[in-house]
Structure 1
C-alpha cells in the first residue's frame, strides 16, 4: 500500500472519532436540515466535555475531668475521632455521592436534587453538617462523618435519589452576567436563560458521558433547527440550538423518560419540551452559551 493511502486512512479515522464525540457531525450554518460534508482533515479535538439535634461527639483530646480522675483519656474522648480515611471528596462522581446528597437533603443540608457529583455545593453541605457535630470541617467525608450521617438518616428511596423536581439553580458564572446567554451549570445540572444578569427561565439538563463529554467554555449559538435528527445516532433532536460543532442544547425524550439514569452523546439534554419550545423562539443565532462547573 502506498504511503499516501495509509496517511489518508489515518486522517479519516481520526476525523471520524472526533466527530462522533458530538450529537451530530458538523452541520451547515443555515439550520435547514442539510449537512456539510465531513472535513477531509482531522477536526480539532474537543476541549474539556441540617436540622439534626444529635449531641456533638467528644473531642479527640482528653477532657480535664477525664485526666484529673484517672490520669488517662476517657473512652468517649477517643471513639469519635476522625479516622483520616477519606471516603468521598471534591471531584468524585458515583452512586455513593448521590446517596450522600440524598441523606444530607433528608436533614436539611442539601437543598437540591442529588446529582452524584461532589462539587463545591456538596462540600459546603458537608462542612455545615460537620460544624454542627463539632467534627473537623474539611468538606470531605471521612469514616466518622459518614457514620454520623448514617446514624441520623435512613436509606434513600429511589424517588429521593432521582427526584422529578426541578434542580435549584447554581450561582451564575461571571461570564453569564452580561448580554443574552444560556448559562449552563454541570454541577447543579441546570440551564438558566439570562438577559443582562436576570434569569428569565430555567431548565433541568443532563450532559454527555465520560466517553462523550459535553465541552466546557464560552460559545455562541451557531445555528438552530426546530426539527432535527442526529445523523450519527439517528435520534430526534427537537429544538436544537448548536453551539460547539455537533453539540447542541435540545429536547430529549430519553431524558424525559429516564432522567439521570442515562446520558447524552455530548449535547445538553432538556426534558421539558414545552418550555424549551418557548426558549427556542427567544434565543437568536449569535447569543452566548456558557458551560461551566
Structure 2
C-alpha cells in the first residue's frame, strides 16, 4: 500500500513538471488560457530577468525579428537640417560695383530691363529669382556662390557702356531753355535728367517725380544750395546729393526709386536712382546753375 502511494505521488509530480515545462500557466487575466509565453509575474517568480515579450527568444532559440509596427529610432536631425544654408554674396540693400555687374549680366540675358544702378533692391531680387528659376536653382532672390558662378558661365564680362549706360529712358528733344549755359534739363515726358552745357548733353540719368498730391513744380529755376548728406526735415528720409532748386524741392538720390522704380513716387523732388552717376554730377553742378523742369 505504501509502495502504491509512492508510485502515485511520483506520477502526479511528473505530470505537474510536464505541464510547467509546456508553459501552460494562467495568463494575467486569470482565465486559465495558456499564452505560450511566461507572464511578468511568472518570470519574476522563476528568477529570470524580467524581459519584454519582444526580447524573449523564439522557440528555435533565435532572437525575434523586430516588429514591423515597432517604432525605429531615427538619428537626431536629418542631413538637410544639419547642412548650413548657402552664404549670400549679394542681397537686399547691398550697394557696390559687384551689384552693378550682376545687373549688367542679368540685363544681357533679358532678366533685368533697366540700366544698372549698383543698388540691390526688389527689382534686382526679382530678376535674380527669374534667373534662378530658369536655371533650376532655389529661388531665394539672393546671390550665393552657386548662383554667381552659374551667371558667370552663361554671360560675358560687361563693357563700360553696359555697366554705366547713358540712361534707360530715351532722351527727348531738349526744351529750348536748355540750349544755353549750364543746365539740369529735366523732362517729365521721358522721365530723364540731362546735364547739358551749351546745348551738349554731358550725362543723363533716369528720374522720378512727385505724385498728384505732391507734384514736382515745372518751370525755370536755379540751384539754390547743395547738400551731400541731407535728411528731410519734413519726411525724415535721407536725401543724398541733394541740389535744391524750388522751395524745398531738390534733385537727389532715392534708395526707394532704386529699389522699386516707378512703382512709387516722390514728395515733389526729382528722384535719381543711380547714386554713382549722381555723385559725379553733384561734384560738377554749381550753385546758380539753371534747372529746367518741363514736359
Q: TM-score, normalised by structure 2?
A: 0.44
Structure number with greater Rg is: 2
- Greater length-normalized contact order (CA 8 Å, ≥ 6 residues apart): 1
Q: TM-score, normalised by structure 1?
A: 0.44
